[in-house]
Structure 1
Amino acid sequence: MNENKISEKYTYIILIFTLISITSCIILNASLFYGFVASIIVSICLCVKSGFSIIELLNMIKKGLYECKSLFILMLLIGAMVSIWMSSGVVPTMLYYGLKYMQGTNFLLSAFILTSIVSIFMGTAFGTISSIGIALLALSKIFGIPNYILLGAIVSGAFIADKSSPLSNLFNLTIETVKINYKEAIISILKTLIPTYFISASIYYFIGKKYSIVAANSNIDTFMYAIDKNFVVSPLILLLPLSIIIMSFLGIKMLKSVFLALIAGIVVSIVFQKAGFNHIITAILSGYSINTNSVQLNTVLVSGGMVSMIPVLLIIAGAVSLSSIFQETGLIIPIIKKITFKIKSSEELILKTGLISGALTAISDQSVGIILPGKLLSDKYKELGIKNSTLARTMADTGAIIAPLIPWNVNSLFIFITTGVPTTAYAPYAILCYLSPLITFIFGYCVFKFCHSY
């Protein structure tokens, strides 16, 4: 990271222009890619006027894009994998057994709990949403629960991985940044995660009571018959999604896990479902669809394949490029120092840590929302006698968890392209994601105010 050469005036111009560009794209229903490109151009111009060379800035962008190459490949593979999981019978099998065994349950609460458990073992919100999340969303169409409400519960459960899973890259980045071990971090995080989790679960329970599955539903029986008629349904097929969880638990990187699951899915498609090779290639590249006598089944089993990922990859490339300029030029550092310079109380430090981490995630990404406050505020925590585990928890409860609520964030874009549900629709129901910062601020205030320790 370079020493900041950019004047405060230019810094505010860049940040305000970026906010206006992104907001304009959302209002005009235009691709966020254009907003990011406009912001990158303005940022480069003002950075050049401040002493950076074009070559330096382009190298910053190149470095940021190179560091995210695994993410780009992963998203393409997930686009292919969703199609293959449909053609191989994974999603139909999940639907079949879900319909069979979850009748009479509070489906919304069950989805939240199941997703949160899977996310801890997988260590990735992306992997959780693109596997168990896709199957649960397909069930929502059958049970009459709005998909945006269910997706809110799925997102809440899935992003627990980013703030607490020992397999999560982001959580390990948090630990490494503040120089603590997993035990210290998780003990601290559980202080706010437990109440947040139970409050969220209670809310999902009450919302979900309206959508409990009724066993005697002829539509469900008809749908199950359509699945059984058009696919080989077997518990063995469920070994495919289970394999990703096992591989993640064993420490195998997500990219490799998804690739192996994709290959296995192709084999299952050919051997179990008798799919032709040309059909599989088409599904991988341009998406999967099926033509049966069941209109309901035809509607549920649809995916976009790799091609559908291209628009969102362009947006992510724009977001990463802009984030790289922000981070490498040190553009935001003076603002952070100015905000934290006069902090005198522990409660104020917790609040401003959360606000800074959240703001950096909003204008950049989760890693910037962890790295910058983690490095720049560590001395302030030491000065006020607060443990670094509190710093880790505050960033995990704010910057890390709010990412799926921000429409232009990489996480939100991934969710949208994977599920087809926009951020503005599911965000009000991603209860844990906005309850988490609130709980950590209340908890921090109460503990410091009345207990004088943390």
Structure 2
Amino acid sequence: MKENKVSEKNTYIILISALISIIGCVTLKIFLFYGFLISIIIAFGLLIKSGFSLIELLHMIKSGLYECKALFILIALIGAMISIWMASGVIPTMLYYGLKYMQNTNFLFAAFVLISIVSIFMGTALGTISSVGIALLGLANIFGIPNYILLGAIVSGAFIADKSSPLSGLFNLALETVKISYKEALISILKTLLPAFFISGLLYYFIGEQYNLVLSNDNIFNFVSAIDSNFVISPLLLLLPLSIIIMSFLGMKMVEAVALALVAGIIVSISLQNANFNDIILAMFTGFSVTTNSIELNKILVSGGIVSMISILLIIAGAISLSSIFQETGLIIPIIRRITQKIKLREDLILKTGLISGVLTTISDQSVGIILPGKLLSDKYRELGIENTTLTRTIADTGTIIAPLIPWNANSLFIFTITGISTMEYAPYTVLCYLSPMITFIFAYLYSFKSGKRPRRHEI
């Protein structure tokens, strides 16, 4: 990270133009990549004027994209994997058993709890949503739950991984940045995670009670028959998604785990479902669809393959390029220091940490929302006698968790690509993503009053 050489005026022009370009594209429904491209061009012009060379700026982008190469590979693999899981019978099997054994239950509440547990073991929110989450969404209409409400619960549970899983790349980035152990961080995070989880669970339970419908035997029979007639169904097929969870828990990288599961899915498709090899390879790239006597099932078992991921890959590349420029030029550092230098109270520092992390995630991505406040505010926390575990918890509860609520964030775009449900539809129901920042701020103020550690400003 270089020392900032950009004037305050140019800094604000770059940041404001980036927000206007990105929000403008979202509002006008223009391909978001153009918003990032315009932002990068404006930033290039002003940064070159401020003393950076074109070669330096291009190198920053190149380095940022290279560091995220695993993410690009993972997204492409997931696009292929969803098609293969449909062709191999994995998702049909999940639908089959889900329909038979989850009827007459509070499906929304059960889905939230299941996804929360799975996400901890998988260590990735997007991986959880694109595997188990997709299968659960397939059951939404059958159980009479609007898919955007169910996706809200799924996203809430899945993003617990990014803020607390020992396998999460983002959470480990936060630990490395702040220099604390997982055990130390977890003890602190549970103080706000547990209340957020239980309150979210209660809300999903009460919402889910409205949709706790008793399905008619005819409807169940027709749907199950359609699955049974077109696929070989076996509980052993559930070992494929389970294998990803196990491999992730054992420390295997997500890209490798998904790649192995993909290969296994191809073998199962050919050997068990009697699929044609050429058709399977084509489905990986261009997508999968099936024709059965059930219109609902035909709507569920559709995927776009790797080709459908191209647009999201371009948008993520644009987001990473812009965030790399913000981070490596030190553009935002003076603003952060100005905001925090006069802070004297614990609760004020926590509040502004959350705001800084949230804003950085909003205009850039989660990694910037972790790294910059983690590096620049640790001394301030030490100065006020606050443990760095609180810094880690605040970042996890704000910048990390709000990513799926931001329409132009890579996480939201990925979710939209694989589900077809926009951020504006599911965001109101991602209860835990709202509660986490609220609880961490409330907790900070309550702690200060309860402990008597709220000093008067003139005494500090």
Common topology (TM > 0.5): yes
Match of 1:120 in 2: 120
Deviation digits for residues 256-305 of structure 1 (CA, Å, limit 9, x no counterpart): 00000000000000011100012101210100000122212111100000
Shift, 1:438, TM fit: 0.3
Query: For 2:447 and 2:74, how far apart are their aligned partners in 1?
Result: 41
Deviation digits for residues 24-69 of structure 1 (CA, Å, limit 9, x no counterpart): 1011111110000000000000000000000000000111111111
Match of 1:425 in 2: 425
Shift, 1:220, TM fit: 2.1
What SS is found at the alignment partner of 2:157? helix
Q: 1:114–1:453: structure 2 CA closer, same or farther, 3 Å change rule? A: farther
Contact 1:141-1:300 at 8 Å conserved across structures: no
What SS is found at the alignment partner of 2:214? coil
Task: Write the letter of the residue equivalent to 2:448.
Answer: F
Query: For 1:116 and 1:293, how far apart are their aligned partners in 2?
Result: 34
Shift, 1:101, TM fit: 0.6
Match of 1:218 in 2: 218
Task: Write the letter of the residue equivalent to 1:394.
Answer: T
What SS is found at the alignment partner of 2:30? coil
Structure 1 unaligned blocks of 5 or more? none
Task: Write the letter of the residue equivalent to 2:25.
Answer: C
Shift, 1:215, TM fit: 4.3
Shift, 1:149, TM fit: 0.4
Q: What do you get for the CA RMSD once the two structures are aligned?
A: 1.0
Matches within 5 A, 1:161-310: 161-310=161-310
Query: For 1:211 and 1:174, how far apart are their aligned partners in 2?
Result: 39
Query: For 2:221 and 2:398, how far apart are their aligned partners in 1?
Result: 44
Query: For 1:162 and 1:231, how far apart are their aligned partners in 2?
Result: 35
Q: Which moved more, 1:320-329 or 1:208-217?
A: 208-217
Shift, 1:217, TM fit: 4.1
Contact 1:140-1:146 at 8 Å conserved across structures: yes
Query: For 1:144 and 1:307, how far apart are their aligned partners in 2?
Result: 31
Match of 1:137 in 2: 137
Query: For 1:228 and 1:58, how far apart are their aligned partners in 2?
Result: 54
Q: 1:452–1:353: structure 2 CA closer, same or farther, 3 Å change rule? A: farther
Contact 1:347-1:449 at 8 Å conserved across structures: no
Match of 2:458 in 1: none
Match of 1:100 in 2: 100
Contact 2:103-2:143 at 8 Å conserved across structures: no
Query: For 1:151 and 1:39, how far apart are their aligned partners in 2?
Result: 31
Contact 2:156-2:433 at 8 Å conserved across structures: yes
Shift, 1:452, TM fit: 4.2
Task: Write the letter of the residue equivalent to 2:241.
Answer: P
Deviation digits for residues 125-159 of structure 1 (CA, Å, limit 9, x no counterpart): 01100110000000102122111000000000000
Match of 2:375 in 1: 375
Match of 1:406 in 2: 406
Match of 2:392 in 1: 392
Query: For 1:35 and 1:449, how far apart are their aligned partners in 2?
Result: 45
Contact 1:119-1:158 at 8 Å conserved across structures: yes
What SS is found at the alignment partner of 2:121? helix
Shift, 1:216, TM fit: 3.1
Shift, 1:123, TM fit: 0.5
Contact 1:107-1:213 at 8 Å conserved across structures: no
Structure 1 length normalisation: TM-score? 0.99
Deviation digits for residues 406-436 of structure 1 (CA, Å, limit 9, x no counterpart): 1111111111111111111100000000110
Structure 2 unaligned blocks of 5 or more? 455-460
Contact 2:143-2:215 at 8 Å conserved across structures: no
Query: For 2:161 and 2:278, how far apart are their aligned partners in 1?
Result: 37
Query: For 1:285 and 1:162, how far apart are their aligned partners in 2?
Result: 29
Contact 1:161-1:168 at 8 Å conserved across structures: yes
Identity over the aligned pairs, expressed in percent?
A: 72
Query: For 1:175 and 1:16, how far apart are their aligned partners in 2?
Result: 31
Shift, 1:449, TM fit: 2.3
Task: Write the letter of the residue equivalent to 2:248.
Answer: S
Shift, 1:176, TM fit: 1.0
Contact 2:153-2:430 at 8 Å conserved across structures: yes
Match of 1:323 in 2: 323
What SS is found at the alignment partner of 1:288? coil
Task: Write the letter of the residue equivalent to 2:164.
Answer: S
Match of 1:63 in 2: 63
Query: For 2:388 and 2:453, how far apart are their aligned partners in 1?
Result: 13
Contact 2:357-2:395 at 8 Å conserved across structures: yes
What SS is found at the alignment partner of 1:398? helix
Structure 2 length normalisation: TM-score? 0.98
Q: Which moved more, 1:444-453 or 1:96-105?
A: 444-453
Query: For 1:273 and 1:144, how far apart are their aligned partners in 2?
Result: 30
Task: Write the letter of the residue equivalent to 2:176.
Answer: E
Match of 1:362 in 2: 362
Query: For 1:38 and 1:449, how far apart are their aligned partners in 2?
Result: 47
Q: Which moved more, 1:171-180 or 1:79-88?
A: 171-180
Query: For 1:310 and 1:255, how far apart are their aligned partners in 2?
Result: 18
What SS is found at the alignment partner of 2:180? coil
Query: For 1:20 and 1:177, how far apart are their aligned partners in 2?
Result: 30
Query: For 1:217 and 1:416, how far apart are their aligned partners in 2?
Result: 33
What SS is found at the alignment partner of 2:141? helix
Query: For 1:431 and 1:168, how far apart are their aligned partners in 2?
Result: 21
Query: For 1:214 and 1:257, how far apart are their aligned partners in 2?
Result: 38
Is it true that 1:87 corresponds to 2:83 in the alignment? no
Query: For 2:292 and 2:279, how far apart are their aligned partners in 1?
Result: 16
Q: Give the ranges of 4+ consecutive aligned residues of structure 1 lying more than 4 Å apart after TM superposition.
A: none
Shift, 1:213, TM fit: 4.0
Contact 2:358-2:369 at 8 Å conserved across structures: yes
